[in-house]
Chains A and B, each alone.
Chain A
Amino acid sequence: MTGKIHVTTTINGDTVEFLADPRESLLDCLRDHVGLTGSKEGCGTGDCGACSVRLDGTLVCSCLVLGVEAEGKSVETIEGMAKDGELHPLQRKFIEHAALQCGFCTPGILVAAKALLEKNPDPTETEIRFWLAGNLCRCTGYDKIIRAVQDAAAEMRGAK
């Protein structure tokens, strides 16, 4: 059981296979073996949320998951968010509200916000801020991010 381990997993609906050193994080595997570089490494210690993905539906930091743990699981990344060339409402609203500057934290925030809206389609500002507290942004001051999530939530509920 030394050396590389063959991993078969589902990423954004597609079956994907890769060879992982057991010490490699899922984030490293996504970026370096699968070529999905949307998930970012900000800290590598689970503090910043830039590497957020869904693992069997649960929001996690992919830097705190080993690549070998993805065996037989389903992974959703930012690359699976737009469907058939159509941006997800959250992605559109982030552009409309200019809810990003450098953009490094944005993929993680979008993945996390999508998970929130699936669980709670009409969150309060406080609920959004608490849910996204594990996603650090050093540019925006968060306000535009919160407005964009609220606006996307309203559109997705059909409230506007």
Chain B
Amino acid sequence: MRYHTPQTFDEASRLAAAAPGVTRFLAGGTDVLVQLRAAMVLPDDLIDLKKIPGTGDITRTDDGGWRIGVAVPGARLGAHAGLKADWPGVVEGMELVGSTQVQGRATLTGNLCNGSPAADSVPGLVAAGATVEVTGPAGARLVAVADIPAGPGRTILTKGEVISAILLPPRGAGGGDAYLRFIPRTEMDIAVVGCAVSLTVAGGVITAARVALGAVAPTVRLVPDAAAALIGSSLDDAALKALAAAAEAACSPIDDKRGTVAFRTEVAGVLARRAAKIAYDRATGGLK
């Protein structure tokens, strides 16, 4: 295995594009090293991105959003007061990934690129309308986070392409988001169902909404019908009922030891309602 420490994303992209065999990018390593040890993925070329300037930074963008470096671990997101105030749902999703030790290493970008349908940080990013900057042989392009996963363990990124930053939009006034998951124990488990809701509220009325579900389809799924059920309402019982129905209708989960199809579908509706209430409270200053 050749170990590379490029100084720029262009160099990282060139290395990956020219590599003849199995290539992996290394950020936090909490998936890559496990796969390496299990001999599931034995890279010929391992490209460590952490020497690239800015990969460990969280910065406010000119438009009032956020740029998160690809090597920023969960523990750093959780310790960032400004980011947490704007996007608490994004941060709480990432903070559910693994133990304290894993939080010291695991990254949003890694969680996204690992391609798990149950990735806890991805629904929050999708609900937030986050994008990623992708650097490739043809230059850089912006891609919605929702478009990155292609199926379990797969992304749409092509040979030589690497995510070079995560971009969160400006939160703006009256915004609030939340992520909830169901697991059979209190922590350190894989989501049976996950749901993120992001709302904008003005005068008590929801003016914009995005709802994303995890672990109920081959990829994390944005649910426009669920958002439509909320927009124009003040989160009354009828809106919550319509939200749950839309969330359930968007589910096409697997049946496995952690949850049946019927269970996952019902829980998706329950979590959507609960996450919407938390997001609404945060948007209206009830909780922060």
Contacts and interface: CB of A to CB of B under 8 A. Distances in A.
B224 to A, nearest CB: 36
Contacts of A1: 2-4
B102 A61 contact: yes
A68 B102 CA distance: 19
B22 interface: no
A6 interface: no
Interface in B67-82: 73, 75
B34 A58 contact: no
B158 interface: no
Interface residues of B, number: 26
A64 B188 contact: no
Nearest to A68: B3
Given A22-B3, A46-B30, A55 B104 contact: yes
Interface string A57-101: 011110111101100000000000000000000000000000000
A121 B201 CA distance: 39
B92 interface: no
Nearest to B44: A2
Interface in A29-48: 44-46
Interface string A102-140: 000000000010011000000000000011111100000
Contacts of B261: none
Nearest to B45: A1
Contacts of B30: 46, 64
Contacts, number: 82
B104 A60 contact: yes
A9 interface: no
A144 B30 CA distance: 30
B33 to A, nearest CB: 5
B120 interface: no
Contact of B48 (A45, A46, A64, A69): A69
Contacts of A49: 99, 101
Given A5-B3, A68-B3, A134-B188, A25 B100 contact: no
B14 interface: no
Contacts of A68: 3, 48
A64 B100 contact: no
A60 B101 contact: yes
Contacts of A112: 100-101
7 contacts: A1-B3, A22-B2, A58-B104, A58-B105, A63-B37, A68-B48, A112-B101
